[in-house]
Amino acid sequence: ESVFKAMYDALKPGGILGVVEHRALAKSKQDPKAKSGYVTEAYVITLAENAGFKFIEKSEINANPNDSTIHPKGVWTLPPTLRLKDQGREKYLAIGESDRMTLKFVKP
C-alpha cells in the first residue's frame, strides 16, 4: 500500500503508472506477503485504486500460459533464478519465465 501511495504522490495529474508483476491465478487466495512471488491482478488493481489511481488497461505482452504458478519454491523455481538448481531444471527451463501481468493506470 505504501509503495502505491508513494508512486501516486510522485506523479503529476495525468501521469501514467505501469505495473509488471508475477501473476497468480485469478482464483488464488492472495497471500498479503506474496511468499510465492505471485500476486493476483485483482489485488494489484485494488491496491492501485485505493491509492487513487484509475485502471486504464492491461496487456498480455508478458503472459506465459505455460506457467501453472504452482512451484515448490514459488516464482523463483523458474528461470532465471532456478532455485532448485539441477532438480527439474529441464522442466522449468521449458516453462520459461513466469506468467506476468502488465497493467496501466493513470493519476486523475
DSSP string, 26-64: TTSPPPTT-TTS-B-HHHHHHHHHHHT-EEEEEE-TT--
**pLDDT(108) > 90:** yes
Q: What is the pTM of this model?
A: 0.92
Packed helices 2-10 and 41-51: angle between N→C axes, nearest 10 degrees:
50
What would the pLDDT profile of 76-91 be if each residue is shown by its tens digit? 999 999 999 999 999 9
**pLDDT tens digits, residue range 12-65?**
999 999 999 999 999 999 988 999 999 999 999 999 999 999 999 999 999 999
Cα–Cα distance, 92 to 69 (Å, whole number): 11
Domain boundaries, the chain: 2-106
pLDDT at 6: 98
Determine the pLDDT at residue 4. 98
pLDDT value of position 32:
86
